[in-house]
Chain A
Amino acid sequence: MIRQLQQYMRCWMELIDEIGKITKEKIMGDNMKKNTILIADDADINREMLKTIFEEQYQIIEAADGEKTIEILEAKQNQIAVLFLDLIMPKKSGLDVLEHMQKKGYMEYIPVIMITGEATAESDEKAYEYGASDIIYKPFAPKVVMRRTKNIIELFEGRSYIKHQLEERTNELMESNRKIKKSNKFFIDTLSSVIELRGLESSEHSRRVKCFTKIIMNNLVRFYPEYNLSDEDVRLIVEASALHDIGKIAVPDNVLLKKENLTKEEEEEKRKHTIYGCKLLENLKQNDDGFYQYCYDVCRYHHEKYDGKGYPDGLRGDEIPIWAQVVSVVDCFDSLVSGRVYQVPYAVDEAVRVILAGECGVFSPKILDCLEVSKSELFQAAELELSYAGSVEN
């Protein structure tokens, strides 16, 4: 059984590795070069002068008026490395073109170099105000125009490359996350079924624990916002709660399934299921993995008590992570209402009363408060939605 489990784990780790590799390859292999220059000026000579500067290295498209310029932008925006734009043109002016580009969001990735005859501070300011990247003045000095244009194109290429890279990376990470979530679920299901196969718990038990954990967590978030737990945190904690007893697969059957009272040594061994669970999980640790932390805490601390009398570490008070405290009270509650420990199932009301009275050990006042306000929801879930048929262990 353990061998089977190890095999599952190996598959899981390999999958994560593979996802990482694919992500890297995709980012490195991108090519973003654009090779077209659009020249918009109403005078043939002016366009021709710019064209002679660039035609060896770039594809040139010309437009003699604003309307034509917009038309070309609409058709080829993704190929245009830079737009030279004269302000005063027939049909639509350079300003109309800029307005159109702004509205369509083209200014983000197409640099615009304004062409102007007079170098006044006023007209320069106006051009920049409209989002131009640079200005060139008539008469055109080819070397200067070439240098400035190349600078602008490189700047924009670099900028959009970085932006593109970020977007890609975000998408890839989201995809990896999705896959990891999927494999996490696969892993939890596997572990749960290992426990079930060994006859230690029923699948009903983990279903119930998740359901009760969700109810109490939701009330905790609602009434004690200071814990700062997001919906995603709650979702992960609920998933983690199903694993609280996985360490039991490492406890010998003669201890775990013994009907009579346990000896002191046997009791010690049984309590180690909290530690065994953590050891199992340690093999799966990833960086910055919130889910791992929740699983670890739930496995290790779900038998700790608020007064420090629990095990394995004897933590007290809020040294015990709040999610472990929640799973702890849920575990007690379920053992009462399912009858898996006391033979005769308790009614929900009675089970809550017993826990509040401290008969299952000491819990934090906040946890008890959450249990109490959850009573009707727990009743709803326990009596009406979750079936106990077959859940009482033979």
Chain B
Amino acid sequence: MTVQECYKTVGGDYKEIMSRLMSEDLVKRFLEMFLEDPSYLELLEEMGKNDYEEAFRASHTLKGVCQNLALTELFQISYQITEALRGGNGQEAEKLLPDIKKSYDKTVAAIHALLDGTDR
């Protein structure tokens, strides 16, 4: 899988990320870091505890990271969750959890496929 194909699969913006980072190697390096980013798991954990304040912080971080990586689809869902939690609306955020889980799993799988297929 190429970087471009990976971005297409996960609903990201390949053109945009390349216009900023200019190098596929660099993009791959950051995608690899994304696998280590804890904010998605933190979001699930805090939602499970009904701690919406901490859940807000986690989704806010996830949103920022996705924005920087041009992972557009995941960015949009995390954006919606962040805004729901910013207004203290835990129920609405709860409703979006299946969507984000689906998108996150898809993204992680595609990144693995990308990294495994190339330099691993």
Could you mark each residue 17-32 of chain B with 1 if its beta carbon is under 8 Å from any beta carbon of chain A, else 0?
1001110001000100
- Residues A88 and B20 in contact in the complex (CB < 8 Å), given A45-B37, A138-B68, A140-B68: no
How far is the CB of A240 from the nearest CB of chain B, in Å? 71
How far is the CB of A95 from the nearest CB of chain B, in Å? 13
Contact check, A49 vs B30: say whether CB atoms are below 8 A apart: yes
Contact check, A44 vs B21: say whether CB atoms are below 8 A apart: no
A141 to B63 CA separation, bound complex (whole angstroms): 17
Interface magnitude class on chain B: 20 to 34
Instruction: Give the residues in chain A near B70, CB-CB below 8 Å.
Output: 139
Instruction: Give the residues in chain B near A90, CB-CB below 8 Å.
Output: 57
Contact check, A117 vs B63: say whether CB atoms are below 8 A apart: yes
Residue tally, chain A, CB below 8 Å to B: 19
Instruction: Give the residues in chain B near A372, CB-CB below 8 Å.
Output: none
A49 to B33 CA separation, bound complex (whole angstroms): 11
Instruction: Give the residues in chain A near B17, CB-CB below 8 Å.
Output: 139
Could you mark each residue 80-122 of chain A with 1 if its beta carbon is under 8 Å from any beta carbon of chain B, else 0?
0000001011100000000000000000000000000100000
Among A45, A52, A88, A89, the residue within 8 A (CB) of B65 is A45
Residue of B nearest to A138 (CB): B67
A140 to B22 CA separation, bound complex (whole angstroms): 13
Interface of B is mostly: helix
Could you mark each residue 58-88 of chain B with 1 if its beta carbon is under 8 Å from any beta carbon of chain A, else 0?
0011011101111000000000000000000
- Residue B119, interface by CB 8 Å: no
How far is the CB of A234 from the nearest CB of chain B, in Å? 66
- Residue B116, interface by CB 8 Å: no
- Residue A142, interface by CB 8 Å: yes
- Residues A140 and B61 in contact in the complex (CB < 8 Å), given A44-B36, A45-B69, A117-B67: no
Instruction: Give the residues in chain A near B37, CB-CB below 8 Å.
Output: 43-45
Contact check, A139 vs B63: say whether CB atoms are below 8 A apart: no
Instruction: Give the residues in chain A near B104, CB-CB below 8 Å.
Output: none
How far is the CB of A221 from the nearest CB of chain B, in Å? 67
Q: Quick one: which of A42-57 are within 8 Å of B by CB? A: 42-46, 48-49, 52
- Residue B92, interface by CB 8 Å: no
- Residue B103, interface by CB 8 Å: no
Instruction: Give the residues in chain B near A41, CB-CB below 8 Å.
Output: 64
Residue of B nearest to A52 (CB): B26
A89 to B56 CA separation, bound complex (whole angstroms): 11
Q: Which residues of B contact A (CB under 8 A)?
A: 16-17, 20-22, 26, 30, 33-34, 36-37, 39, 57, 60-61, 63-65, 67-70
24 contacts between A and B (CB under 8 A): A43-B39, A43-B65, A44-B33, A44-B37, A45-B34, A45-B37, A45-B68, A46-B65, A48-B33, A49-B30, A88-B60, A89-B57, A90-B57, A117-B60, A117-B63, A117-B67, A138-B68, A139-B16, A139-B17, A139-B69, A140-B68, A141-B20, A142-B21, A142-B22
